[in-house]
Structure 1
Amino acid sequence: MKALTFKRYGKSPAIGFSELPRPSLRDDEMLVEVHAVGLNPIDNMIPTGMFKPVLKFQLPATMGSDLAGVVKEVGRRVTRYKPGDAVFASLFDLGTGSLAEFAVVPERVAAPMPTNLDFVQAASVPMVGLTAWQAMKERAGVRPGQKVFIPAGAGGIGSIAIQLAKHFGAHVGTTTSTGNVPLVRSLGADEVVDYKQQAFEKTLSGYDMALGTLRDEEIDKAIGILEPGGKIMSLVGPLDAAFAKARGLNFVLKFVFGLMSRKVMKLAARRQVAYSFLFVRSDGAQLSDIGQLLQAGTIRPVIDKVFAFERAPDALAYLAQGRAKGKVVVQIK
C-alpha cells in the first residue's frame, strides 16, 4: 500500500511516499480503508524529533493521526463494527499513522462517522475535537456561565473549541485577524480581539479557563487574564513534571520537564492559577459523543483547504505556515 512516511528524525527526515505491506490485525483491531486524513500541527513536529522521548515509532513511520474511512476487516474480538461501516478516529500516540491507503484502527479509538458529514469533514474533527473536549470537560470541568479564553479562534483547534465551549454554556473570548472576525463570531465567540489592532491581555479579564495554543510569552499573557483559581491547559508546552509522571517517564525526563516548566509554574502560582500541559488521548467513546453533536448540527467542521493524496507533502507545508482558517485535509479516495 502507498503511505507517506518519514525515515529519520531531525532537520532532514526524508518525508516521501513509500510502498508498505498491507498491515495485519490483532484481535481488537480493524483494517480501515482511509478516505481522508485531517492534518494537525503535531504531524509536522513529530519528524523533527521534538516528541521522540514520549512518542514511539518504528522507522520508517507513516505520518498523520486523524482519519475517516470504511472498515474492510475486523479482528475476532471486534463487536461494534463490521466491514462496510464508516468510521472516524485519531491514531495519535498509538505508534502508527493515517496518511496511507489503509490503516489499523483499534476498536476502542474509533467512532461511527456522522451520517451528515462526508469523509473530508469527518476526518477534520478527531484530534481537535478530543483535545477541546478533554481540556474543557474532563480537566477544567467548564460549567455554564464560566468564561473561557480560546486564542486563535479561526484555527483548526480554535474553530472547534469555541463551538464546544458554547455547548458547555461558557462565555467565550478569542483572538483572530481582522478578516476572520465574522467567522469566529458565527462559531459563537462572545468577545473577539483583533490581534492586529489590540492586545488581548489589555482587553480581556476575569476568565476562568484558558486553552494554551500559542507558545512562550502568549502563555504568560493568557495566565494574566485569569481569575484566581483559574486553569490554563497548554497544548504546546512547556511540558511539565506531572506529564512525565503520568507517562511513566524516567527521573531524568521528569527533572528536565520540571525545569522546562519552572518559569510558567512560578508565574501561575503568583496568580493563583493552575497550569498543566495537555497531551490528547485517543478515545472512541468521547469521539462518539462529539459525533452526536456533529450529527445534531450543534458543532460543525471548518475546512480551509483539501489536498489530493499525492500532494500530501504540500498540505503539510501549507499547514506549517500557520495561516489555515479551520482544518487542512488530505483526500485519499
Structure 2
Amino acid sequence: MRTYLDFEKPIADLEARLEETRQLAKTSNINVSEAVEVLEQSINRLRQEIFQNLTRWQRVQLSRHPDRPYTLDYISLMCDEFIELHGDRTVRDDPAMVGGFGKIGDQTVMIIGQQKGRNTKQRQHRNFGMPNPEGYRKALRLMKMAEKFGKPIITLIDTPGAFPGLEAEERGQGEAIARNLKEMFMLTVPVICIVIGEGASGGALGIAIGDRVLMLENTWYSVISPENCSTILWRSWNFKEQAAEAMKVTAKDMTSFKLVDGIVDEPLGGAHNDHQAMAQHLKTVILDALTELNALSPDERINQRIDKFCSMGVVVE
C-alpha cells in the first residue's frame, strides 16, 4: 500500500476517488471513462501545483519517504549484471554499506552506497543506513580494487550519518572517514557521487569526494539534520521547519553555493512515484558523465577534483 506524506493528502483523496470510480466500472455496466479522465487530469494538475511549491522541509521529508528507491533498488534497475562484494578484511562486513562490480550499459563500474531497510527487521540489519568504521573501510577497499582494474566508481549517498555509537568511535570512525576523504582525492579513475536521499554530515562525505557530485531533486545535503540543528539552537525538535529553511539544505541550494555540480530531475511526485523511470534517467546521467570523464587523463581528473573542493567556501572581498 502506498504511503502518503501530510502534504500529499489532497492527492491521496483524489486517487482514492479514482480507484472507487474504476471499481464501479468493474462491478457495473456504467461507462465512467469520462469521469476517470477528469480525475486523472485533476490529479496531475494538483501534483504539479504541490511539487512546484515544496518547502525545504517538505523536500527533506521526501528524501526519507519509505517508498523511495534505495541503493540496491537502483543497482537492480540500472545494472544488467551485479556482483556484491563483502567485508573490510579487518573487522567484519557492514550491511549498512553495500558495493560491488556492476555493468551499466557497456560500462563496468564499481557501485558503492549506503543501504537502508524497508521494514523493522531490515532497518535493524542495515543499522538504519548508518555505517560503522568497517563500512567506510570496505568502501575504500572496493574503490582501490576498482582503481586497480581501471574501472569507474559510482557512489550512492543515503544516510542520516555515520553510526555515533561508542563502539564505532573505539574502532576509529573519524579516522576511517578521514582516510576515505584523503584517498578519494587521489583516485586515478573517474568518480561520480550521487545523493539519492539523505546526505548527512561526514557519514555522507566519506563516500562523496568525486569528479562529479550530483543530487537528486528531492534530497538534502548538510553537516547536520534540521531536527538536530533545531535541538541545538532551540532545545526542541519543534523548529525543524525553520531550521531547514535557514540551513538551505536542498539540491537547488547546494548547486547555487557551488557545493555540488548538478541536479538530477525526479519523476513528477518524487522518485518513489516511479522507480523505473527514476533509475533509467539516473542511468543516462551516469553514462553521460562517464563519457565526459573518460576523455580526461587521470592527472587532469585529479587536479580538477582537488581544485573543485579547494574552491568551496572561499570568499573574496
Same fold per TM (> 0.5)? no
Larger RCO, structure (CA 8 Å, separation 6 or more): 1
Higher percent of residues as strand: 1
TM-score when scaled to structure 1?
Answer: 0.28
TM-score when scaled to structure 2?
Answer: 0.29
Higher percent of residues as helix: 2
